[in-house]
Structure 1
Amino acid sequence: MAQFFEVHPENPQPRLLKQAGQLLNDGGLLAIPTDSSYAVVARLDDKTAADALRRLRGLDERHHLTLLCRDLAEIGHFARVDNRQYRLLKLATPGPWTFILEATREVPRRVSHPSRKTIGIRVPKHKITLALLEAAGSPLMSTTLIPEGEDLPMNDAQAIFDRYANQLAGVIDGGACPFESTTVIDLSGPTPEIVRRGQGDLATLGLD
């Protein structure tokens, strides 16, 4: 049965996030609020977590999981970033953007796209998400919490708990999320490609 954490969205309680981080260290999945919607997260170094995330969502291995990072420096550890890409990432982080980049060897094969060897990666702008990343001490794999067969993400922590209490180790209630997806930009090719439009003004990145 999942643990339920009521966390203040502006002043997250370190004690509660430390407890939630321990659930991740023990191999559990957490549902957490982000700056786009609720997501399910797990530790990157957990060998079974990628499969568990995909099973919960009903996804195949071709679906990009997203790596949540604390800052730009951490992105550079897990993705190959040239000078052009770096300038764009510096403008965009933290923020509601997901970038598809070539994965480094630090990213396990079970997490990266099987044929393209790419990874979705971002630095969120949400106090609870960032505080949990600090508590975990490492990036987290994530996927938007959209129930299998449905189109919209869940946005109520209690409803998530009621539905997934036996599949999750914990649910962090941080209140409602903006309920709008991140904008996804593929930087793995010669020029940036807008894969999905969501939050964020592309003009601020010089892409619109």
Structure 2
Amino acid sequence: MILRIYPQNPAEREIRRVVEALERDGVVVYPTDSVYAYGCSLRSARGLERLRQLSGKQTGELSIICDGISRAAEYCRVDNAAFKILKRNLPGAITFLLDASSRMPDKALQRRKTIGVRIPDNAIPRAIVEQLGCPLITASLKSDDDAEYMTDPELIHERYGREVALVVDGGYGSIVPTTVVDLTQEEPEIVRQGAAELN
């Protein structure tokens, strides 16, 4: 199923349909401020297993999507220095690596101590997380596909629609991944330069 949602003002009714799919252990494909991505509820062990299968990624390569810094601070350790960096750069196309807190489920970590955290500059995923009441676990669509199959929601649905609960059509996506910044050391370290500059 493909579901059109407008990023400027996501309709609550449509967001609710996405949340219901996630609450039934579903995996959805949704837009971010960089590439389209798979997502499942942080509370869903079955969803996480399915997301791993679909993305071909190990748990260590997955991130969480939050709707704000306060939600991120529930699941990760955010000290004053990290908070200032997050506040300057988010929402935006940056994944920050942070130490996980005890609220992060073990299944989502699998012996890791850190997790990637995103607050996209796109209202759709933030609205989904807000209604869901917990972060999304996320992995980008496979980058070995043709660019159109990663950016055009109709083609994404054609390719992945039978494998996921639904595809959210939020308009054309990008093929440029997020910038990845490690905040677990004394100084921030850019692990991958992507769509955004670190401020």
Using structure 2 for the length normalisation, give the TM-score. Answer: 0.92
User: How far did residue 93 of structure 1 move?
Assistant: 1.4
On the 8 A contact 2:43/2:134 being kept in 1, the answer is: no
Provide the rounded CA distance (Å) in 1 between the counterparts of 2:146 and 2:153: 18
Q: 2:88 aligns with which of 69, 91, 94?
A: 91
- Show the counterpart of 1:71: 68
Residue 145 of structure 1 corresponds to 141
Find out whether 1:43 has 2:60 as its counterpart.
no
Aligned partner of residue 121 in structure 1, secondary structure: strand
Give me the identity figure in percent: 35
Q: Which whole-Å deviations, capped at 9, do the CAs of 1:72-116 have from their partners, x for residues lacking one?
A: 11111100111111111111111111100110111112212x454
Matching of residues 97-112 of structure 1 within 5 Å? 97-112=94-109
What are the ranges of 5 or more consecutive residues in structure 2 without an aligned counterpart?
none
SS of 1:171's equivalent in the other structure is strand
Point out where structure 1 has 5 or more consecutive residues left out of the alignment.
none
Larger deviation: 161-170 or 20-29? 161-170
The 1:169–1:135 alpha-carbon spacing in structure 2 relative to 1, beyond 3 Å, is: same
Q: Which amino acid aligns with 1:87?
A: K
Matching residue of 1:121: 117
Are positions 1:11 and 2:9 aligned together? yes
Following superposition, the deviation at residue 150 of structure 1 comes to: 4.6
* Contact 2:178 2:195 survives alignment (8 Å): yes
Give aligned pairs, total.
198
Q: What is the CA-CA distance between 1:10 and the residue it aligns to?
A: 1.5
- Superposed CA RMSD in Å reads 1.8
Determine the C-alpha separation between the residues in 2 that align with 1:192 and 1:96. 16
Distance 1:16 1:108 in 2: 28
The residue number in structure 2 matching 1:80 is 77
List structure 1 segments (4+ residues) > 3 angstroms apart after TM superposition. Answer: 149-153
Read off the aligned partner of 1:76 and give its amino acid letter. Answer: A
For 2:194, the equivalent position in structure 1 comes to 198
| Contact 2:55–2:141, Cα closer than 8 Å, also in 1 | yes
